Amino acid sequence: MDTRITLDQVFVIAYSDLDSMVKEFFGRDWSFVEDEEARNDHVYRFTITGKYMSTYDWDWLHQWVLGEKRKYLTHNILTAMAMVGHIPMGTYIIEVCW
């Protein structure tokens, strides 16, 4: 059996710290746990290139910024923050534990 294990550089952040970063950046409350329907003692991985977001994704994010209720925004939020240089591009591990 050929098992491959790779070493990968990632950014690790607690869900509550991400919530705070999003509020600071966008100026409105947001909950990773609610957005992703995240479960306790789980990790979630997002690869952010920060290079492109579709018109549909921009519109979905823009509607949320304007106050509409939207779900599953995490990838779009991280991408938007990376595109303007607020966070580095890369792979993010969001840890959920309460």
The model carries a pTM of 0.90
Q: How far apart are the first and last CA of the chain?
A: 38
Instruction: Classify residue 68 as left (phi > 0), alpha (psi -120 to 50) or beta.
Output: beta
Per-residue pLDDT for 1 more than 80?
no
Residue 6's pLDDT is what? 87
pLDDT tens figures, 10-62: 999 999 999 999 999 999 999 999 999 999 999 999 999 978 899 999 999 99
Residue 96's pLDDT is what? 98
